[in-house]
Amino acid sequence: MPFLQKYWWVVVLAVVALFIFSGANTIPTLDEQVKASWAEVQNQYQRRMDLIPNLVETVKGVANFEKDTLTQVIEARANATKVTITPDTINDPQAFKNFEQAQGQLSSALSHLMAVSENYPQLKADQNFSMLQSQLEGTENRIAIARRDYITAVQAYNIQVRTFPGIIWAKIYGATAKPEFSAVEGAATPPAVKF
């Protein structure tokens, strides 16, 4: 024990260094995971935006029905593209909420379109429509997975910046909690189909 009595400060310094270096990279690492997850969410939303014009044109070409439904889809897509997305969106709760609402309206309009299409055999039989519907359904699933991954990344990040010792590093980095996705109003209600 004479070593510890003589060099106690080395042990204290080693413990402090371990504390500093073990947490110093955690918040930036988690922040990058949040950004990557958010980029994948945006990627999947963009994929959906690219598919919608094809879907709408196919529906228009096959059947002249439910013009209101097609108009809702077109307007919802236009509104969703009006919301400006920047890398800072995940740090701005209001911008994040606006983005969420626009995407929720688009999801609702697409759900309504798919529900209405079930009552038109000519449309259901069209191969192009079936292919695009399948792609759109796959995209919606990818969006759900990307959102789930984003939620998980945000949860890990937020826990780190709100708990000890991460809260110390959060103060040093100026890190704050990131907004999480939440269901848009009316998301639990299935689309109503009226004829």
pLDDT in tens, the chain (195 residues): 566 667 777 777 877 776 666 667 888 899 999 999 999 988 888 888 888 887 777 776 655 555 667 677 778 888 787 877 777 778 888 888 888 888 888 888 887 777 766 666 666 656 777 777 788 888 889 999 999 999 999 999 999 999 887 888 888 888 999 988 776 666 556 545 443
**Reported pTM:** 0.66
- The residues spanned by each domain of the chain are 26-152
Choices 3.40.640.10, 1.10.4080.10, 1.20.1440.20, 3.20.20.30: CATH for 26-152? 1.20.1440.20
Q: What is the DSSP string of 103-149?
A: HHHHHHHHHHHHHHHTT-HHHHH-HHHHHHHHHHHHHHHHHHHHHHH
Tell me how far apart the alpha carbons of residues 7 and 139 are, in angstroms, rounded to a whole number: 61
